[in-house]
């Protein structure tokens, strides 16, 4: 069973930017309430789309360099990467269906 990859400043390029699959990155922090609400949805997405979509979580407190590089101002921020570029984003806690619609568009 697939679960989100723990991302950090050190592995972000190899895991996300050089990925041959689209990647969903959850920028979060332990103290963030909405992040804890989105967490289980991100876990489900990792399982539901195993083999089609790579899913990772990046703690903004531990990897601030990457968060700053992508202009993350509020969390949770979920960025979709394809071919090393940001192609979509979701900011804030949203229902799972919202993610599913975006992901299905990206995977078409």
Residue 51 region by backbone torsions, left for phi larger than 0, else alpha for psi between -120 and 50, else beta: left
Bridge partners, 81 (sequence order): 23, 86
**pLDDT values of the chain reduced to their tens digit, one per residue, 108 residues:** 578 999 999 999 999 999 999 999 999 999 999 999 999 999 999 999 999 999 999 999 999 999 999 999 999 999 999 999 999 999 999 999 999 999 999 998
Is residue 44 annotated as part of the catalytic site, yes or no? no
47, 2 Cβ separation under 8 angstroms: yes
Is residue 35 annotated as part of the catalytic site, yes or no? yes
Residues 16, 32, 67, 72: which is the catalytic one?
32
H-type alpha helices, the chain: 12, 33-48, 64-69, 96-107
Q: What is the pLDDT of residue 27?
A: 98
Give the separation between CA 56 and CA 38, rounded to whole angstroms. Answer: 13
Give residue limits of the domains in the chain. Answer: 5-107
Residues 16, 23, 25, 35: which is the catalytic one?
35
Q: What is the pLDDT of residue 15?
A: 97
* CATH (residue range 5-107): 3.40.30.10
């Amino acid at each position: 069973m697939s679960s989100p990859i723990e991302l950090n400043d050190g592995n972000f390029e190899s895991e996300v930017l050089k990925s041959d699959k689209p990647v969903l990155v959850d920028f979060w922090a332990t103290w963030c309430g909405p992040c804890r609400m989105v967490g289980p949805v991100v876990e489900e997405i990792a399982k539901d789309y195993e083999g089609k979509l790579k899913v990772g979580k990046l703690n903004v407190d531990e990897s601030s360099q990457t968060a700053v590089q992508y202009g993350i101002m509020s969390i949770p921020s979920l960025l979709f990467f394809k071919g090393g570029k940001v192609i979509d984003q979701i900011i804030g806690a949203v229902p799972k269906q919202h993610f599913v619609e975006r992901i299905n568009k990206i995977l078409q």
